[in-house]
Amino acid sequence: MVKAISEVEGVLSQPTPEVDTSGLNDGSLHLIIRSWTLPEQAQVRRRQTRAVVAIKVACVRAEIKIPQPVPVTLYDRTLDRE
C-alpha cells in the first residue's frame, strides 16, 4: 500500500507515506493511511481520491478481498397478528 500511495502524482516522498492498523473486527481491518502533499487546496482532494484508488488497485492485484457490507432486513411477523 505504501508503494501504491508513493506512486500517486503529487504525494511527497518525504516524509514517507505510512500505513498503520487502528482496529480489527469480524471481516474488517481498519487502517490509518498518511501521506503528505503540498498545501494546494484545489489538488488535495484529488490526490486523496487518487491515493484511495491506488490502494484499491493494489489490493486487487494482491488478491486481497475487501469485504462488502451485507444489508440485513429484519421483519417482525408478530406485528401482522396484532
Q: Where are the domains of the chain?
A: 2-81
Provide mean pLDDT across the span 32-49.
Answer: 85
> Is pTM, for the whole model, over 0.75?
no
- Under the banding of pLDDT at 50, 70 and 90, the label for residue 80 is low
The pLDDT > 90 percentage for the chain reads: 22
pLDDT score recorded for residue 18: 92
Please tell me the distance from the alpha carbon of residue 65 to that of residue 15, in angstroms, as a whole number: 29
3-class secondary structure per residue, the chain: CHHHHHCCCCECCCCCCEEEEEEEECCEEEEEEECCECCCHHHHHHHHHHHHHHHHHHHHHCCCCCCCCCCCCCCCCHHHHC
Q: What is the mean pLDDT of the chain?
A: 83
8 A C-beta contact, residue 10 and residue 43: yes
Model pLDDT, residue 82: 54
The CATH class of the 2-81 domain is alpha beta
- The predicted pLDDT at position 41 comes to 78
